[in-house]
Amino acid sequence: MKQQNKLTIAISSRALFDLEEGHKVFTEQGVKAYCKYQIEHENDLLEPGVAFSLVKKLLALNGNTPDEEKVEVILLSRNSADTGLRIFNSIEKHKLPIYRAAFTSGESLYRYIEPFGAHLFLSADPSDVREALEMGIAAAAILPSASRSTKQGQLRIAFDGDSVIFSDDAERIYKQEGLAAFDESERAAANDPLPGGPFKEFLRLLHKLQTEYQGDESPIRTALVTARGAPAHERVIRTLRAWDIRIDEAIFLGGKPKGEFLKAFGADIFFDDQTGHCESAAEHVPAAHVVHGISNQ
């Protein structure tokens, strides 16, 4: 059962911290060498991973008392509790208020997402992400990237539209019948709201948090960054209006690459269902692949 009074994010240790050195030991030398390596380095501070800034800004939305807690972050890790001690030590040293965790000793993480009441799951493992999406939970695989969001202040989250905020119904027409058929279909259905996609509920919860602040004082800013252009823009606008969900910026690119626009927006993270868009975005901002819809079949 999801907790309705706060936004709950589940994140894997490899998305939160840079664990690539230890992961290399694991893949090249095996479990025993990895365990030895982590125990020997358990007091060494782990450097921030791709999603670290996102998590820090989310946790900064909380007040100073439990009654003011708007966001909770849960750590999920394939480490054992023994090798995971370094992760908890690093959480403490980075002063992140993360208190709940599950260490699975190599087993899949997705089993604990629902019991923890998570609304979003971020992982470096696409297989866990697929399982979470099939459970109806917003989930995405963080891409390895040199891009790190270092800007302080406002949390900025960007989304693709089809197969992310919306279902992949319209994208299926584009993939199967081409652009002309897609444009014709969207023009004819302009007044019919699109079905919701895997991130509709997460966007709704972000919008709910935004409504607790006055206008420009909101610490959260959202953007829709879509390959759609006219005439396919109208149905998107009318859908969000029908859902009564605010999105701060909408960028209709008509097929142009997204990376530079996401950099201009200053995204702390960008969610897209297409690998190519994610890889392009990851050159400029942290990006995560939503392994969902026709593009991933």
pLDDT in tens, 50-78: 999 999 999 999 876 556 789 999 999 99
- Alpha carbon 269 to its chain centroid, in Å, reads 7
Judge whether 127 and 144 are in contact, CB under 8 Å: no
Average pLDDT over the chain, rounded to an integer: 90
- pLDDT recorded at residue 215: 72
- pLDDT recorded at residue 35: 87
The mean per-residue pLDDT over the stretch 108-112 comes to 90
CB atoms within 10 A of CB 114: 16
Burial of 16 (0-12, 13-18, 19+ CB in 10 A): buried
- The correct answer on CATH 3.40.50.1000 for the domain covering 155-296 is yes
Judge whether 226 and 236 are in contact, CB under 8 Å: yes
Q: pTM of the entire structure?
A: 0.91
Q: Which CATH architecture has domain 7-142?
A: 3-Layer(aba) Sandwich (3.40)
Tokens of 130: 């697929």
pLDDT at 175 exceeding the cut of 70: yes
Strand 100-103 to 138-142 pairing:
unpaired
In the annotation, is 82 catalytic? no
pLDDT at 209 exceeding the cut of 50: yes
Domain boundaries, the chain: 7-142, 155-296
Burial of 27 (0-12, 13-18, 19+ CB in 10 A): exposed
Q: Which of 160, 162, 168, 272 is catalytic?
A: 160
Same fold, 7-142 and 155-296: yes
Q: Where are the alpha helices (DSSP H) in 178-217?
A: 179-188, 200-210
